[in-house]
């Protein structure tokens, strides 16, 4: 039985991972060990500093509006100086961002450079990351490679939130930001020990916007706008958890336990994405994921939050695997950077739209419970846009 399990697991994993993808795996895992500690607690930290739910939304709206204007600049830099160089440089901006975020406790004016530095980090990192993966991944194992990365990151996100909660509870916010920043710095090692073979190219700033809004790309634009739900998942859902569970270790433990249940499901979906129609897998998973947002309407206790978070993490990963596999597959038949920049820009449009819609709704509501209800309904509606792909 043990041999059968190992043999089955082996078939779910990618068999021929290229060296550049292995480097990207290791760097991503190390960086996400830090992000697993930090991302969950970033909006909670702002909440603890007296920011309202609406003010937290304004903060991240400023990030994404600025990022939308800067994405083509990140693509220009990556195509000129190399994907890995761009990702390494992004870590400097990321660490500086956490310094400014911590200083928000002293003065909210630090939120301004924090927004700008977070924008620089995203601009340098995400176009380069997606282009690197799309260029070097194995076309015959796209789904398995994406799912293997998601599973590895899920394992990291089991440990990270718990460690973050422990560092805050038994240390301080400063200690958590310091440890996370050190890990981000270390994540550059896989890139620094290998030389990147790269041919510089040019990238048109205005051309990126023309392609994004062109008629032939309308389906990708609308479909990727579904990522507007991710703004809620990363920014507002942690704050809601903090209103239900007040202890940081308990918050980290809950998210860690919920993440644990996602691993084998994600591997299996990677295999299905390679063997079956990716759009069929995507549509099935979107239905499951949307139900997770509606279930939040009933989550008012720690047990309810755990069940909903577990369901959502499983179904979110199931959505991500075929979606990213389709993206990288499409990139191989077109310009890699043009395709991934279009994806990233459409994604950001979705997050901007979600933030604006929620801010308008919040301006008409006075009850926090009504705000949460509206938030889950908006996120569930945005998730349905993935069906357009």
Structural domain boundaries in the chain: 19-193+217-388
Highest mean pLDDT (candidates 3-17, 246-260, 365-379): 365-379
Classify residue 214 by its DSSP letter.
S
Which tokens sit at 333?
A: 């038949």
- When mean pLDDT is compared across 28-32, 129-133, 208-212, 256-260, the lowest value belongs to 256-260
- For residue 315, what pLDDT band results from cuts at 50, 70 and 90? confident
What average pLDDT score do residues 288-300 get?
A: 94
User: Which among 381, 350, 361, 385 is positioned nearest to 60, based on CA atoms?
Assistant: 350
C-alpha to C-alpha distance for 106 and 166, rounded to whole angstroms:
23
State the pTM of this model: 0.88
89 vs 252, more confident: 89
Domain 19-193+217-388: state its class. mainly alpha
Instruction: Quote the CA–CA distance of 232 and 251 in Å, as a whole number.
Output: 17
Would you say how long the chain is, in residues?
389
Q: Which of 380, 212, 378 is nearest to 311 (CA)?
A: 380
What is the rounded distance in angstroms from the CA atom of residue 56 to the CA atom of residue 48? 11
Question: Rounded to an integer, what distance in angstroms lies between the CA atom of residue 243 and that of residue 240?
Answer: 5
Looking at residue 241, its pLDDT comes to 93
**CA gap 240, 244 in Å, rounded:** 7
pLDDT more than 90, % of the chain: 56
């Amino acid at each position: 039985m043990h041999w059968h399990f190992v043999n089955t697991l082996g078939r779910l994993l990618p068999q021929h991972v290229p060296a550049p993808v292995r480097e990207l795996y290791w760097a991503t895992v190390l960086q996400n060990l830090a992000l697993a500690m930090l991302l969950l607690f970033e909006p909670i930290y702002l909440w603890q500093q007296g920011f309202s739910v609406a003010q937290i939304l304004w903060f991240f709206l400023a990030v994404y509006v600025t990022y939308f204007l800067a994405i083509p600049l990140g693509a220009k830099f990556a195509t000129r100086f190399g994907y890995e160089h761009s990702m390494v440089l992004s870590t400097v901006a990321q660490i500086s961002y956490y310094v400014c975020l911590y200083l928000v406790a002293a003065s909210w004016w630090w939120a301004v450079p924090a927004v700008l530095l977070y924008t620089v980090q995203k601009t340098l990192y995400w176009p380069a990351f997606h282009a690197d993966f799309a260029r070097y991944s194995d076309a015959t194992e796209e789904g398995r490679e994406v799912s293997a990365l998601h599973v590895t990151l899920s394992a990291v996100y089991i440990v990270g939130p718990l460690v973050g909660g422990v560092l805050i509870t038994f240390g301080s916010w400063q200690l958590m930001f310091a440890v996370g920043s050190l890990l981000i710095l270390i994540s550059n090692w896989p890139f620094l020990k290998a030389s990147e073979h790269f041919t510089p190219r040019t990238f048109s700033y205005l051309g990126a916007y023309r392609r994004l809004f062109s008629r032939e790309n309308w389906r990708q634009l609308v479909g990727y706008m579904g990522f507007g739900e991710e703004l809620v998942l990363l920014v507002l859902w942690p704050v809601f958890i903090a209103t239900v569970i007040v202890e940081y270790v308990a918050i980290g433990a809950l998210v860690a336990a919920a993440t644990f249940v996602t691993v084998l499901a994600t591997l299996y979906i990677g295999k299905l994405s390679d063997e079956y129609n990716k759009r069929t897998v995507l549509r099935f998973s979107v239905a499951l994921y949307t139900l997770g947002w509606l279930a939040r309407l009933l989550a008012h206790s720690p047990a309810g939050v755990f069940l909903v978070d577990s369901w959502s993490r499983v179904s979110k990963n199931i959505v991500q695997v075929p979606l990213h596999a389709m993206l990288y597959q499409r990139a191989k038949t077109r310009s890699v950077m043009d395709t991934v920049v279009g994806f990233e820009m459409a994604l950001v449009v979705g997050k901007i739209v979600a933030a604006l819609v929620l801010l308008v709704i919040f301006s008409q509501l006075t009850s926090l419970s009504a705000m949460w209800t509206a938030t889950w309904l908006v996120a569930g509606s945005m998730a349905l846009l993935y069906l357009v792909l």
